Structure 1
Amino acid sequence: MKRGFTILFIELFCVQAFLFLGALLQEYALFCQIMLLFFLALTYRRIYLLARRSLKNAQEEAKFQALQKQEQLQKEQEQLFVSRKQETLAFQQATIRKLQTLQNYLKTNEYNKIQDYLPAITDDFQRERFHPICQDSLINAILADKRFLAMQKNIKVTYEVLLPEKSNIPSSELSSIFFNLLDNGIESCNASGSEAPFISVTSKMSAGFLAVHMKNSKDPAQPFNHKTSKKDIPNHGFGLSIIEDICAKNDGSCQWIDNGDTFDSVVMLRYQ
């Protein structure tokens, strides 16, 4: 690239030189004009090659950053899944201990303790038990974690998620769809200024396609421009491109619809 700019500088110098010589030496004006045209052609060709090289480098850099972000998201999803498995295991172990305690009270006929202890077990179970949202464990963990994060920001989240029992879509790619959609939805709700921000996610199957639809609050003063609203741009803004790449790989499509104070994300993926 540096060598190309050096050659371009030399060619521009030659253009200026023959332009000057053509005006100074009238007897060689024709020769100077021919050489001027020759170096102009070389200069335009060099500019075209440099521009194409710069564009190619920029595209490769964008793909590299998107790949890095995809790998980072995959690691985050795997960590989330491990964390949820550990939480579920801890809850199961705590429940077993409580049931063993209850069983010991039964063996020793300590009915008064049973009467006091049983409501506590029931309340804990209803409060702490893992409510599955869908049948996919990783996506289930993502949905639950994002809803927890949203609730901390006073964002109401509702899910109605149906997934195909058998699908050609890799689990990692499908989980990335939900992960990135919800990440974008929470970001949009935070910036919306709404008194009651919300996120609604639904998915259903039709004619061999899985349709995922997310509707969320949005700042009406900030029109959609296919970019992130976060200040940390190098680490964000790849969510939409990741989703679009996954759609392209799975014979699908996606739509981003700005309704002013709300935003619709519609993703279609062929699963058969």
Structure 2
Amino acid sequence: MLSVYKLIWFILFPVVFFAGRIGIKVSISMLSISVVAVIDLTINNILIFMNCPPATGYGWRDAVSIPVLALLAFCVRNHRKEIHEMIFRDDVKINLSIPIISLMAFLWVGIMQFLFTEQPDNRLLLYAGFLSVIIAAMFILVSVWSMYQRNKLTLMQERNEYQNRIIELNRRHVDFLLESEGELRSFRHDFKNHLLMIGNLAKESGDTAVADYIDGIYGKYDFIKYVNTNNRVADIFVNKLIQEFKNDETFEYTAVGRFPDNMPIDYVDMSILMSNLTDNVAEAFNKVSGRKQFDLEISHYKNHVFIDMRNSAAQSDANLVSDKKQPGHGLGIGKIRETVEKYDGSCEWIYKDGCMNVRIEMISEA
């Protein structure tokens, strides 16, 4: 009877729990059968040691092995994702070790079962069987644990490589933004001077139409003020926010203060910090229908720098300052907090009187 359950397990286990390579399926099935055989052999040894008659037909071995087998299937079912990730790796060593371990365990336990069947009353075989069961079980457990640890290490290495690639892409992106911002600042300065020169030449030549036109352009152009925080990366994102809402009549802003020269923060981290802060402001503005106020104040005292940001926000944004870790909570708050704490800083969000207030404190000296 037990052979029928083993056969069912051999066929259904790879079909139900795994997908992919047939060779790996068979190996996993052999390993599973080996575990069942170890259980069967252990029960048989205990019965012999207790001077019980050998089980025949549907006896105690079958009755006990079936629920144990069901429990094993249940455990594998609950952890099938971890097992699947551990097994189906493109690691040659892991793929080769699985069939080798399975075959050795399967043959080992199979031989011991055969010896017990031929000489069930042999005490030497009894002790050897107990020892074999223990060694086989330990061998299987250690092998599986080693594969799991190796796979875990591989996943950590891949995760680190992925994070390094993301950091490098962010660095290139910030480099491009800094280069573009420098060219734009130079163009703005030159263009402003060119307009002034053309306007003066038009006035000297008596061409009032051109002079008036230049004055109109110059006035509109001069209306666009550039915020300088003494940090080029921060300037990019603050001015990007201002330019995005400058044509909105309900938009007002103030920007006071400058970052100290000795800020130790990496420009990629500054990009992550300021981009998420300004993105949160833009997201909040899209939810309010009335006045859109943005206030930025940068101050420093001794070796600390303080960033105070205040913006109009809807009542629903008050939930962003909660401690919940559900998807969607924070809109970059997690990244902001992670970046600030990387430099031994702190940050807090307070929603009050229709505004979101952000307070960030960081060390200003390395």
The bucket for the TM-score relative to the shorter chain is 0.5 to 0.7
* Residue of structure 2 in register with 1:225 after alignment: 325
Would the alpha carbon gap of residues 88 and 193 (structure 1) be closer, same or farther in structure 2, given more than 3 Å must change?
A: closer
Could you state the TM-score of these two structures normalised by the residue count of structure 1? Answer: 0.68
What is the rounded CA distance, in whole Å, between the counterparts of 2:112 and 2:309 in structure 1?
67
Of the three residues 264, 269, 273, the one matched with 1:173 is 269
What is the rounded CA distance, in whole Å, between the counterparts of 2:358 and 2:131 in structure 1?
58
1:45 equivalent in alignment to 2:142: yes
The DSSP-based 3-state class of the residue aligned with 1:134 is coil
* Residue of structure 2 in register with 1:137 after alignment: 232
Would the alpha carbon gap of residues 13 and 144 (structure 1) be closer, same or farther in structure 2, given more than 3 Å must change?
A: same
Percent of matched pairs sharing the same residue: 7
What is the rounded CA distance, in whole Å, between the counterparts of 2:139 and 2:347 in structure 1?
44
**How many residue pairs get matched?**
257
* Residue of structure 1 in register with 2:338 after alignment: 244
Residue identity in the other structure for 1:3: K
The DSSP-based 3-state class of the residue aligned with 1:179 is helix
1:120 equivalent in alignment to 2:220: no
Deviation for aligned residue 1:106: 3.5
Q: How does 1:152-191 map to 2 (within 5 A)?
A: 160=255, 162-183=258-279, 185=280, 189=283
* Residue of structure 2 in register with 1:65 after alignment: 162
Q: Deviations over 1:20-79 (max 9, x none)?
A: 666661332321221121122122222222222222222222221121111111222222
What is the rounded CA distance, in whole Å, between the counterparts of 2:258 and 2:165 in structure 1?
30
The answer (yes or no) to whether the contact 1:150–1:186 under 8 Å persists in 2 is no
What is the rounded CA distance, in whole Å, between the counterparts of 1:151 and 1:99 in structure 2?
24
Of the three residues 183, 195, 205, the one matched with 1:98 is 195
Residue identity in the other structure for 2:196: L
Q: Any stretches of 5+ residues in structure 2 without a counterpart?
A: 1-90
The answer (yes or no) to whether the contact 1:18–1:36 under 8 Å persists in 2 is no
The answer (yes or no) to whether the contact 2:253–2:294 under 8 Å persists in 1 is yes
The DSSP-based 3-state class of the residue aligned with 2:171 is helix
The answer (yes or no) to whether the contact 1:254–1:268 under 8 Å persists in 2 is yes
Residue identity in the other structure for 1:269: M
The DSSP-based 3-state class of the residue aligned with 2:305 is strand
The answer (yes or no) to whether the contact 2:307–2:361 under 8 Å persists in 1 is yes
Residue identity in the other structure for 1:145: K
The answer (yes or no) to whether the contact 2:337–2:347 under 8 Å persists in 1 is no
Would the alpha carbon gap of residues 210 and 34 (structure 1) be closer, same or farther in structure 2, given more than 3 Å must change?
A: farther
Deviation for aligned residue 1:226: 7.4
Q: Deviations over 1:74-121 (max 9, x none)?
A: 22222222222232233333322221222213433x274477246414
Q: Deviations over 1:106-150 (max 9, x none)?
A: 433x274477246414422233x4411412123201322255457
What is the rounded CA distance, in whole Å, between the counterparts of 1:201 and 1:30 in structure 2?
79
Would the alpha carbon gap of residues 105 and 199 (structure 1) be closer, same or farther in structure 2, given more than 3 Å must change?
A: closer
Higher relative contact order (CA 8 A, sep 6+): 1
Q: Any stretches of 5+ residues in structure 1 without a counterpart?
A: 230-236
Q: How does 1:193-204 map to 2 (within 5 A)?
A: 194-195=287-288, 203-204=298-299
The DSSP-based 3-state class of the residue aligned with 1:205 is strand
1:32 equivalent in alignment to 2:125: no
1:208 equivalent in alignment to 2:303: yes
Structure number with larger C-alpha Rg:
2
Would the alpha carbon gap of residues 91 and 168 (structure 1) be closer, same or farther in structure 2, given more than 3 Å must change?
A: closer
1:270 equivalent in alignment to 2:270: no
The DSSP-based 3-state class of the residue aligned with 1:269 is strand
* Residue of structure 1 in register with 2:25 after alignment: none
Deviation for aligned residue 1:254: 5.1
Q: Deviations over 1:138-189 (max 9, x none)?
A: 320132225545789xxx7967564223223334433332234445x379x3
Would the alpha carbon gap of residues 92 and 200 (structure 1) be closer, same or farther in structure 2, given more than 3 Å must change?
A: closer
* Residue of structure 2 in register with 1:234 after alignment: none
What is the rounded CA distance, in whole Å, between the counterparts of 1:46 and 1:209 in structure 2?
53
Instruction: State the superposition RMSD in angstroms.
Output: 4.6
The answer (yes or no) to whether the contact 1:176–1:243 under 8 Å persists in 2 is no
